[in-house]
Chains A and B, each alone.
Chain A
Amino acid sequence: MSDPPPTAYEPVIGLEIHVQLATKTKMFCSCALSFGEEPNTRTCPVCLGLPGTLPVVNAEAVHYALMVGMALGCELAPRSVFHRKNYFYPDLPKGYQVSQYDVPICGPGRLGDIRVHRAHLEEDAAKLVHAGESGRIHSAEASVVDFNRGGTPLVEIVTEPDVRSAAQASEWLRLLRVTLRQLGVSDVNMEEGSLRCDANVSIRPQGSSELGVKTELKNMNSFRFLERGVDAEIARQTMIVRDGGQVTQETLHFDPRTGAISSLRSKEEAHDYRYFPEPDLVAIAPTREMLDRARAALPELPADRAARLESDHGLHADAARLLAFRPELGDFLEAAIATNGSYPVGVGNWVTGELLSRLGDRDPDQTALEPGALARLVAMVEEGEVAGSAAKEVLGVLVEEGGDPAAIVQDRGLAKAGGDELGTIVDQAMADNADAVQKIRGGNHKAIGAIVGAVMKATKGTADGGEVQRLVRERIEPR
């Protein structure tokens, strides 16, 4: 008897994302937000939690949260309340965090293929700096607190457990990040902590609809770490279950240097946060004016733009997504299309292909290339005036020096070779490569490459490769 085939396991992943809002002031006081100032210089009695102080809600943070809710298609609560989340830690000067609990400002929604469970407003904790080699609290000799970050407004976005792989998690987080960036509500910088992602990970037998025991993987501060962390955790859980064990519910830390996963606290050590309604604040009840203002402030969002680029201009889904996710590329594309209205698919291919590879990290407007020049170049290609390989050379000139594509083609003699002249060149190339002609006749169609290569060499790349192939075939197999 042979062993039964090993059970296949399906990962089930939900994400919790903390987004620092780029408001002028903190969530509950009038301190300016901090960007690397001297420690403890952006503080006041309120964000230090001094006795007798009271929080006051930042209206701009509510505005931003409403924008986020609208962008994620969330149901917006007509009245949402703040709660106190109680626990002791030196980065939490009041001994509780003001957050939202059972009635968040944003209810269920969706972004792309992932459902959003909720999004709520809260205040960030202060920053602990641990003196010692590891930089972590366990082996620190001393810890100091910098309250500059304390009280920074956060929106916490929680997804449903709809994610099925580490790659999908990272892909979706990119969509979320570009959406938030487009909204202008956050710097969304993962390395600097303005966008922070935790993942709830469980596995279950393929085909099962029940949820397994989940673990919470904290604070992966890049897309790569998120992918590696989630993959490592899926592997860890799969190994435990395959060995007949059970996953225990706990909070985990992923060390990106070693790839190791270690436990921060178990379920038994989990805090009882003793949430209760924050008596120092009144409910957030967005007025018609607040909602109208948030709606009016919404730009076109990446997911919508991708759909529009597909439907209006016929772009391929991949190209449309790429252009929508890098808004500066999308803007350049649309500017180019607007100049002559022709060949949008061609322009799209050139922007996402040749242009993107030449840009690197630059924006198109950091180069000498004008949108109209690209549009004209693409038209010349599409209309057979210049061959693809020659057009790439022209694009290189346009990016570095600018100018008019037609003039560059003329100056450099890059106009497409064609007509009788091209026929003569093909005849010559076939005569020079008689063995290749022989091979083609014998059924080796790949041999045509040698002849095309010779033609390209003779025309300095201005010939159209497809046209050359057609001419060769015509001569070998006359219809």
Chain B
Amino acid sequence: MSDGTELTGAQAAEQIEAGELSAPELFAAYRQRAAGDELNAFLWVADQAPAVPAGAPLGGVPLAVKDLFCAEGVPSQAGSRILEGYRPPYTATAVQRLAAAGAPMLGKTNMDEFAMGSSNESSGFGPALNPWDRSRVPGGSSGGSAAAVAAGLAPWAIGTDTGGSVRQPASLCGVVGLRPTYGAVSRYGMIAFASSLDQAGPLTRDVTDAALLLSHMAGADPCDSTCTGLPEEVVLPRAERLDGLTVGVPPQLTGEGIEPGVREVFEATLKRIEALGGSLEEIELPHSEQAIAAYYVIAPAEASANLARFDGVRYGRRAGDVQDLLSLYEETREQGFGDEVKRRIMIGTYALSSGYYDAYYGSAQRVRTKIAEDFRAAYEKVDLIVTPTSPTVAFPLGEKTGDPLAMYLLDFCTVPMPLAGIPAISIPGGLSEGLPVGIQLAGPAFSENMILDAAYALEQAIGFDGSAARV
């Protein structure tokens, strides 16, 4: 007998509303799956189903939440030992909005420490595993959320995307991941990595679920001055064709560095776009080649300040047996932070230092402006831009941990969009050697409805089967 866990979030919500499925039973089924998690996807699982507001549109379909989001009274550790056991006194706006809409929190998912990583291997609690092949990484930083959704441990999840942290793990795990326009979803209660880039987004089994979660997450928030919400309501996607749509293909993000298996799936997707009535056009994003360099200055610079508060004075880990204030700071941070976090704090501190600021942070900001201008120019010619999400499929655990730069370079397809503040989605495009390959569609700011519609049409045509990853 079905327990409802084979359904998408939208389907489950529909059946609950129709009285064909019990929300508490669904929650219990998922709770059992999450508690028995062998992928290390969850860092914490709820004991019982929280009360769901009567008539809430999402009906009580449980939600996996990246550990970066604060939730009142619940461990919220950002994947870091420095916040081990930290239980905040308040709940993030996005989590609160989704709970109010009827998606109560099922558990907190594993992630790269403070969202710094593309493989989940920088998590202070050990990496989550890729459900398609447990010897491989799930991607990062929202790797736990992607793995949980792909494995069917949760119907849907939310994560955060700074340089690709929703889209890339979605790609590596064969699920849908949407990064909304910067400012669409409140950042209040998201433990900050790089404030000008961080944006929350859904990780789901299909495009409809992504649209559904987005519609309930987005919205202006008086607690976040940079959050304006979306100018129009999110409409559930219905498009079956791409007639009249021009899709741009930038050589800078689709050429060199893409591994052959990924290229194959990408090229098949381009043919599908044409078959659905869309037209392809090559467009230039000339400054994208500097995007990685700019990103790895700006994000660490902001992080170096955002992570200064973890000083052992008031919460989280505090080093014992120290003689003075300076040693308290040094010991706490030495013991609490992992190598990748320390590396980025050092890079960011250096980039902001007197005498270096203009050469590093200043230059990076100028590149950022150029990248945004590139996209603006491109969107005068095309409606959407298509690229692979990741140049590779999921790689084996440990393969790249010794070479941080090689790991950074893997982000080159996903980093330009956050720098420009624009939305992008990753959907499964097919398999390469039995591992999922993600296709990324990016549009201009606030074009979420168009992106979702196009992704939906493509999704129907592709007919990706993710059942091999289900537990």
Contacts and interface: CB of A to CB of B under 8 A. Distances in A.
B188 A53 contact: yes
Interface in A347-371: none
Interface stretch (A2-10, A106-114, A279-287, A318-326): A279-287
A175 B353 CA distance: 39
Contact of A94 (B90, B225, B308, B353): B308
Contacts of B86: 51
Contact of A95 (B78, B195, B311, B357): B311
A45 B361 contact: no
A49 B92 contact: no
Interface residues of B, number: 44
B309 A280 contact: no
A56 interface: yes
Contact of A57 (B78, B92, B225, B301): B225
Contacts of A86: 304-305, 308, 352
Contacts of B313: 90, 93, 145
Contacts of B349: 274
Given A45-B89, A84-B305, A51 B78 contact: yes
B294 interface: no
B353 A54 contact: no
Instruction: Name the residue among A50, A90, A145 with the largest chain B CB count within 10 angstroms.
Output: A50
B33 to A, nearest CB: 28
Given A276-B357, A276-B361, A280-B225, A93 B314 contact: yes
Contact of A48 (B83, B223, B314, B353): B314
Nearest to A272: B354
B463 to A, nearest CB: 39
Contact of B225 (A53, A90, A93, A282): A282
B205 interface: no
Nearest to B301: A276
A310 to B, nearest CB: 47
B189 interface: yes
A272 B325 CA distance: 19
Interface in B190-206: 190-192, 194-196
Contact of A50 (B88, B305, B308, B325): B88
A438 to B, nearest CB: 85
A74 B409 CA distance: 49
B70 interface: yes
B222 interface: yes
A84 B188 CA distance: 18
A51 B354 contact: no
A54 B222 CA distance: 10
B349 to A, nearest CB: 7
Interface in A101-151: 145
Contacts of B191: 51-52
A282 B183 CA distance: 12
A279 to B, nearest CB: 4
A80 to B, nearest CB: 14
Contact of B195 (A48, A56, A275, A280): A280
A153 to B, nearest CB: 16
B76 interface: yes
A130 to B, nearest CB: 12
Nearest to B328: A90
Contacts of B196: 279
Contact of B88 (A49, A52, A93, A94): A52
B450 to A, nearest CB: 26
A56 B90 CA distance: 17
Contact of B70 (A52, A280, A282): A52
A45 B357 CA distance: 31
Nearest to B313: A90
Given A84-B305, A86-B308, A276-B305, A54 B225 contact: yes
Contacts of B226: 279-282
Contacts of B408: none
A56 B308 contact: no
A84 B90 CA distance: 24
Given A51-B86, A274-B352, A88 B225 contact: no
B345 to A, nearest CB: 11
B241 interface: no
B70 A51 contact: yes
Given A52-B190, A272-B354, A88 B88 contact: no
A96 interface: yes
B195 A93 contact: no
Nearest to A143: B325
A193 B305 CA distance: 28
B329 interface: yes
B411 interface: no
B70 A96 contact: no
Interface in B269-327: 301-302, 304-305, 307-311, 313-315, 325
A53 B310 CA distance: 14
Interface in B74-97: 76, 78, 83, 86, 88-90, 92
B309 A49 contact: yes
A138 B194 CA distance: 36
Contacts of A280: 187, 192, 195, 224-226
A50 B76 contact: no
Contacts of B304: 86, 274
A53 B225 CA distance: 11
A293 to B, nearest CB: 21
Contact of B222 (A53, A56, A145, A281): A56
20 contacts: A50-B315, A51-B78, A51-B191, A51-B310, A52-B69, A52-B70, A52-B191, A52-B192, A53-B90, A56-B225, A86-B308, A88-B311, A95-B305, A272-B353, A276-B357, A279-B195, A280-B195, A280-B224, A280-B225, A282-B226
Given A48-B314, A95-B305, A274-B349, 15 more contacts: A45-B89, A50-B70, A51-B78, A51-B83, A51-B191, A53-B188, A56-B222, A56-B224, A88-B329, A93-B309, A95-B308, A96-B308, A279-B194, A280-B195, A282-B225
